[in-house]
Chains A and B, each alone.
Chain A
Amino acid sequence: MANTTERRKERIDRGIKVRTEGIYAVSSWQEVAYLVLPRLVLIVGLLLLPLIVPPLFGPYWKRVVSYAAIYGLLALGFDFLAHFVGLVSLGGAFFIGVGGYTAAILNKSLGLSPLFTIPMATVGGAIICTLLLLPALPLRGVYFAIVTLMYPLALMRIIEALNIFGGTDGILGVAGFPNTWIEQYLIIFIVIFALFGLRRLVNEDIGLVFRGIKDNDQSVRASGLSITRYKAIAVFIASGLGCLGGAYLAHIYMWSGISQFALDFSVIPIAATVIGGGGTLVGPLLGCFFLVPISEWLRTFGTLRIVFYSVILMAFIMFRSEGVMVFAQRKYHQFQRWIKV
């Protein structure tokens, strides 16, 4: 064996990865499978969840599937903003709260069914969130994060103090879903759609502008594009996903209250991004489907669950800080070998 100082590891793309990048992918089943299988496994896996999870763990877990999907929407929004636009947002709670209250108010005062309130709360809530965040858009990094964290806290106290929207009791008697199958499958379809939609978006021309803003915002301005406008579009997309989740949650709970501004909605998506791997979009989503059930399962331990939760997070940060999906994608697309230096 040669001394390790004379060798180093080289990482190169697999042949099949290079071949499938072009149009020639359709020339063999192997290559088609290389491209399609990962996506297929993900989609089929998500679709099977409502069939597998509740029979194994009990009827309560139907709801956990929906929760995980809602957190998944938030995590997609977070990853999109953080890794493709360069805005670190702690606004999960803000988006969920605004979406939830909008849907509940539309449902209670206008008597609209969830079929209408959810899309309306998605667009309306996203407009509200974007307008409120507009003054903060020139801010970068931790400053933007602070503002997005401030809004849910402030709105919670405002609702409490002014006793509007039902005050601390919240808005009761919001319409629910006809049955739990619709409840689970609708949100899973939405999540799959959001994932592949966002992945396509970041590779479109407008997505290049977003990534340009993250890379070099001065350069985007020198290119004659308004960064505030594009940041607003990005925040609109991400907050739309969050508001959609919030509206969905309000209809699942059949209630909307100040606990929808809880910081869990801001923190868990970030933790999921750490575990799943930032910048992959699919990673944070899978991270949610891992973290949310664990968080529910740990409930049996009472307050100790925070300890377990922290240990899991710490382990990931220390041993796989790049995230599971970044690691997995590398292993899938590339192989390593020793070469002589």
Chain B
Amino acid sequence: MSGENILEVTDVCKSFGGVQALLNVSFNVQQGDVFGIIGPNGSGKTTLINCITGFIKMNSGKVLYKGKEISNKAPNQIANLGVTRTFQIMRPYYSLPAYKNLIIPLLSPRARRKGGWRGGGKLGDRGTVSIDILEEIGFERDSFVPYKLASSLPTGYLKRLELARCLALRPDLILCDEVFSGLSMSEIASMVPLIEKLQMDGITLVMIEHRLRELFRVASRVMVLNFGEKLTEGIPEVVMQDERVKEAYLGSEKLLDYKFEA
């Protein structure tokens, strides 16, 4: 299952006016892996996901998905190939009940083509299918929660709803933009098994995360970004011992010493 690259990102560059958000970022993600992207605020993690999923046009670089180029395609085309994403700032349809939020991705060409219990091939089936997906992601089927307006749901459920929207497309690759942020410890604790379950289902995950402990529980490889450039990549334990990574996260050693003395 693993060993094959599902995503190959080569020399992605993006600048916003004078700000170089991404500079020659390259990495590969293997089929079935959980790949973590970490880095301080403003290091270009979200921009990278936006570039891969087509929400932002990159200046240069190449993105291959399953060997086929997807660079600068429209976001909906990329989503239909099976590359889905969650948004860091949740983007549910606030005026719709939670389960109707999923009708929209279920209407996509990919979900229709895939059919089955998740795709909801036949008309009118989609409501049932979306409840099924919501149950899988942690909405209690027999409670009122799936039928509540998204605007009245707490953050934890909205984060799950983001993931559910991805699942409705029956993705091969999910790019998660900080699914753990803004959640309480207990919510995170219930979210981690969910991620592990997705991985067991054969879905490859790319996760941007600030919650390093939880990320390292699931991720097999991590990449560190700083000021739009890739610092290093490797297995979590090795990466965190890297001097440059410590510097990027905590500031330089000198400054630290000074603080301790004072």
Contact = CB atoms under 8 A, between A and B. Distances in A.
A257 B104 CA distance: 43
A223 interface: yes
Contacts of A223: 76, 79, 104-105, 107-108, 165, 168-169
B111 interface: yes
A209 B104 CA distance: 6
A208 interface: yes
B109 interface: yes
A211 B101 CA distance: 10
B91 A216 contact: yes
A224 interface: yes
B160 interface: no
Interface string B101-128: 1011101111100000000000100100
Nearest to B75: A221
A10 interface: no
A220 B87 contact: no
Given A205-B107, A212-B104, A219 B80 contact: no
B72 interface: no
Interface in A200-231: 205-206, 208-209, 211-212, 214-216, 218-227
A220 B75 CA distance: 10
A222 B79 contact: yes
A211 B111 contact: no
B45 interface: no
Interface residues of A, number: 19
B138 interface: no
Given A211-B93, A212-B96, A224-B80, A218 B108 contact: no
A224 B105 contact: yes
A215 B103 contact: no
B31 interface: no
Contacts of B92: 215-216, 219
- From A209, A218, A221, name the one whose CB has the most chain B CB atoms within 10 angstroms: A221
A226 B105 contact: no
Interface string B160-188: 00000100110000000000000000000
A47 to B, nearest CB: 33
Contacts of A222: 53, 55, 75-76, 79, 84-85, 87, 91, 165
Contacts of A208: 93, 96, 100, 103-104, 107
Contacts of A224: 76, 79-80, 84, 105, 108-111, 169
Main secondary structure of the interface of A (DSSP, over half): helix
Interface residues of B, number: 31
Contact of A216 (B55, B74, B93, B100): B93
Contacts of B103: 205, 208
A224 B77 CA distance: 6
Given A222-B165, A224-B111, A225-B76, A211 B95 contact: yes
B71 to A, nearest CB: 17
A212 B93 contact: yes
Interface in B113-147: 123, 126
A215 B165 contact: no
A220 B165 CA distance: 10
Contact of B55 (A209, A218, A227): A218
B94 interface: yes
Given A208-B103, A212-B93, A218 B79 contact: no
Contacts of A212: 93, 96, 101, 104
Contacts of A226: 74, 76
A328 B108 CA distance: 37
Interface in A21-70: none
A104 to B, nearest CB: 39
Contact of B87 (A206, A209, A215, A219): A219
- From A205, A209, A211, A223, name the one whose CB has the most chain B CB atoms within 10 angstroms: A223
A57 to B, nearest CB: 41
A248 to B, nearest CB: 33
Contacts of B96: 208, 211-212, 215
Contact of B93 (A205, A219, A221): A219
Nearest to B80: A224
B57 to A, nearest CB: 14
Nearest to A219: B91
20 contacts: A208-B96, A208-B103, A208-B104, A212-B93, A212-B96, A215-B92, A215-B96, A216-B92, A218-B87, A219-B92, A222-B75, A222-B76, A223-B104, A223-B169, A224-B79, A224-B109, A225-B104, A225-B105, A225-B107, A226-B74
- List the 8 closest A-B pairs by CB distance, nearest first: A224-B108, A224-B79, A223-B105, A221-B75, A219-B91, A215-B93, A224-B80, A216-B91
Interface of B: 53, 55, 74-76, 79-80, 84-85, 87, 91-96, 100-101, 103-105, 107-111, 123, 126, 165, 168-169
Interface of A: 205-206, 208-209, 211-212, 214-216, 218-227
Given A208-B107, A222-B91, 6 more contacts: A215-B96, A218-B55, A219-B87, A219-B91, A220-B104, A222-B85
